[in-house]
């Protein structure tokens, strides 16, 4: 059946044109993987290794969470879904082997079994229209179970759903008359909601609070019992010691000239020098006017880009892990690669 799904994708390819950011359509979320945990005590097992409270999982409510190492660093972010009375974990493919290896150490003492469902299910996203700021990110992710698929309705933008479906259902849906969008559209909706999926590049580097998994996205339950990494995560939270956090920025340049008319950057690049779109690992700087000199600027390293999405050439969004000790209030400008940035609140 997976061969038929592959053939369906070939017959109905992703749109080549750059459609508007708010386009409706279907997204093949091929960067996501699905793991299946089955056996007696699966819920109890996960309760000891994820940041959310597994008691809140039901056939009508999915959960967003993190899996952390003993130091409290996020190995992966994931959606947890009860499907056909079984527990499914939806995470980024790049951390699949890391999570599998991590769990295998503890499954030796459990009757549960972990298996890979990527040859049995397809993950799709449905974009329903205008991508708007989140309205109430504290509400649970509601789930609707239908024949051939489980549908998670996202509470952050109110306009998209994730479908974990059997290949035959995916073929039926993809073959209908839809815009076939690539994953940049889904990633943009994630960024606008202040949420990212942990990839291998940032796995085990940041606390879940740093990646905005507390507060708006409620992936951490501070009232549940112990889990791996919980002691450090709770201590940092209650002592107010989170020194970095995720921030979302928008940027725009002339797509034809690909130059920036702003002042030279901290690297003293000329204003008309061609610039590159922001990418993973690029550094953000904040420039403030010095009170001791006319129009003089002082620059400070603000953070590092961890995820990007550029749909329309010359315009995009980035997520960056930034220092909490640096204030944006007195900023003359914020920039990356000599590109001015606009801070987006969510």
Instruction: Look at residue 17 and tell me whether its pLDDT is greater than 70.
Output: no
Q: Answer yes or no: is pLDDT of 256 > 80.
A: no
How far is CA 261 from its chain centroid? 31
Would you place residue 24 in the very low, low, confident or very high pLDDT band (cuts 50, 70, 90)? confident
Asked if the model's pLDDT at residue 104 lies above 70, the reply is yes
Q: Say what the pLDDT of residue 265 is.
A: 46
Q: Give Cα separations from 236 to 29, 49, 67, 104, 137 (angstroms).
A: 34, 18, 17, 28, 23
Label residue 215 by pLDDT band (50, 70, 90). Answer: low
Give which of 32, 76, 2 is closest to 164, Cα–Cα: 32
pLDDT, tens digit, 9 for 90 and up, residues 65-92: 999 999 999 999 999 999 887 899 999 9
Q: Residue 204: which region, alpha, beta or left (left: phi > 0; alpha: psi -120 to 50)?
A: left
Mean pLDDT, residues 171-189: 90
pLDDT at 260 over 60: no
Which one is predicted more confidently, 264 or 216?
Answer: 216
pLDDT band for position 263 (cuts 50, 70, 90): very low
**65 close to 80: Cβ distance less than 8 angstroms:** yes
Give the whole-angstrom CA distance, residue 94 versus residue 49.
19
Residue 295, pLDDT score: 60
Mean local confidence (pLDDT), 183-190:
91
pLDDT band at 270 (very low <50, low <70, confident <90, very high): very low
Residue 139's Cβ-count burial label (10 Å; 0-12, 13-18, 19+) is middle
CA–CA–CA angle 9, 14, 19 (5° rounding): 160
**Measured between alpha carbons, how far is 240 from 205 in angstroms, rounded to an integer?**
19
Write down all domains in the chain, each with its CATH number in brackets: 2-238 (3.30.1360.120), 244-344 (2.40.30)
Q: State how far the alpha carbon of 313 is from the alpha carbons of 16, 114, 121, 298, in Å.
A: 13, 42, 33, 31
Other CB atoms within a 10 A radius of the CB of residue 307 amount to 23
The string of pLDDT tens digits covering residues 293-323 is: 566 678 899 999 999 999 888 899 999 999 9
Residue 262 is predicted with a pLDDT of: 46
Mean pLDDT of the chain: 86
The pLDDT assigned to 276 comes to: 83
* Integer Cα distance of 77 and 89 in angstroms: 10
pLDDT of residue 154: 87
Length of the chain: 346
Write down the pLDDT at residue 145. Answer: 94
């Amino acid at each position: 059946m997976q061969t038929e799904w592959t053939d369906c994708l070939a017959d109905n390819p992703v749109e080549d044109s750059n459609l508007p950011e708010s386009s409706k359509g279907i997204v093949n979320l091929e960067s996501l993987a699905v793991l299946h945990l089955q056996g007696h005590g699966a819920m109890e097992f996960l309760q000891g290794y994820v940041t959310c409270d597994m008691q809140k999982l039901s056939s009508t409510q999915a959960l967003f969470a993190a899996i952390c190492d003993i130091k409290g660093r996020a190995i992966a972010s994931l959606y947890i879904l009860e499907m056909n009375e079984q527990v499914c974990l939806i995470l980024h493919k790049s951390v699949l082997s890391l999570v599998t290896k991590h769990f295998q150490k503890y499954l030796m003492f459990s009757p549960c079994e972990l298996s890979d469902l990527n040859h049995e299910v397809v993950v799709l996203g449905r974009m329903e229209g205008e991508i708007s700021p989140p309205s109430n990110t504290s509400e649970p992710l509601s789930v609707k179970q239908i024949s051939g698929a489980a549908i998670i309705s996202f509470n952050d933008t109110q306009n998209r759903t994730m479908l974990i479906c059997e290949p035959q259902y995916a073929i039926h849906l993809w073959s209908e008359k839809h815009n076939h969008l690539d994953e940049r559209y889904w990633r943009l909706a994630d960024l606008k909601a202040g949420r990212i999926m942990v990839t291998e590049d940032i796995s085990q580097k940041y606390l879940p609070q740093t990646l905005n998994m507390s507060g708006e996205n409620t992936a951490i339950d501070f009232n549940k019992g112990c889990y791996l990494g919980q002691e450090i995560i709770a201590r940092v939270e209650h002592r107010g010691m989170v020194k970095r956090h995720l921030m979302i920025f928008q940027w725009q340049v002339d797509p034809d000239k690909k130059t920036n008319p702003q002042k030279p950057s901290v690297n003293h690049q000329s204003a008309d020098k061609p610039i590159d779109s922001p990418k993973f690992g690029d550094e953000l700087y904040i420039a403030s006017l010095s009170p001791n000199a006319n129009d003089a600027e002082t620059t400070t390293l603000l953070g590092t880009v961890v995820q990007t999405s550029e749909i329309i050439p010359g315009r995009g969004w980035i997520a960056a892990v930034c220092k909490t000790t640096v204030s944006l209030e007195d900023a003359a400008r914020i920039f990356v690669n000599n590109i001015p940035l606009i801070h987006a609140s969510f």
